[in-house]
Amino acid sequence: MGQAIDYKQLSDADLVFRLKEGDHAAYSEIYQRFFGLLYAFIYKRLRDKDETKDILQELFTDVWLKRETLQIPVLSSYLYKAVRNKMINLMVHKDVEEKYMQSIKNFMEHDTVMTDHLVREKELAAIIEKEVDLLPNRIREVFLRSRQANMTYKEISDELHLTKQSVRTYIKSAIKILRLKLGLIASLSAVFYFFN
């Protein structure tokens, strides 16, 4: 009978080798060894516990699912680079999302002298408002607090007795629904530039 392996004593390189062979205990040791360090690294930059946990969950899921094809010369460097890339992707996505929603907000508030072009814009603004009104109740409630009242996720979660993760999920759902409906409407209305 072979001697039991003490995974805590294995080098990072040995853990990577065993991970690629499908050794779940090696994967667990990598998780235990790096989770706390990576959590501190991400949270220091994002200051959001939910987003930090989301990034780590995605990272370690990727590590396990793609273990056979991963190129990992140095484990710590690989993990830090991977979380940096995930943080950059998150920030880019949030920036794009914010610009998109700011455009909708500006469009809805637009009320000036009417020309043919402005009439079309006014009609589209009315369509946008209608589509927002048609969102499922809870999604609409969260979305309007975020976009019209400019409340933070925390303020919304406190007021509606929801978790911040639920608030984030509702807002993402609202944006997805509006993109699907308004993207088509905008192109048909010849004002697709608004969504670019």
CATH number for the domain harbouring residue 72: 1.10.1740.10
Tell me how many domains the chain contains. Answer: 2
**Distance from C-alpha of 166 to C-alpha of 189, rounded to nearest angstrom:** 34
Q: What is the pLDDT of residues 156-181, one digit of tens each?
A: 889 888 888 888 888 888 878 777 77
What's the confidence (pLDDT) of residue 115?
A: 52
Residue 130 and residue 173 share a domain? yes
Q: Does residue 100 lie in a domain region?
A: no
3-state SS, 91-133, equals: HHHHHHHHHHHHHHHHHHHCCCCCCHHHHHHHHHHHHHHHHHH
Both ends of the chain: CA-CA distance in Å? 65
**Distance from C-alpha of 113 to C-alpha of 118, rounded to nearest angstrom:** 8
Residue 126 and residue 57 share a domain? no
Q: pTM of this prediction?
A: 0.51
What's the confidence (pLDDT) of residue 26?
A: 95
In terms of residue numbers, what domain contains 52? 8-92
Q: Does residue 3 lie in a domain region?
A: no
Length of the chain: 196
Residue 83 and residue 150 share a domain? no
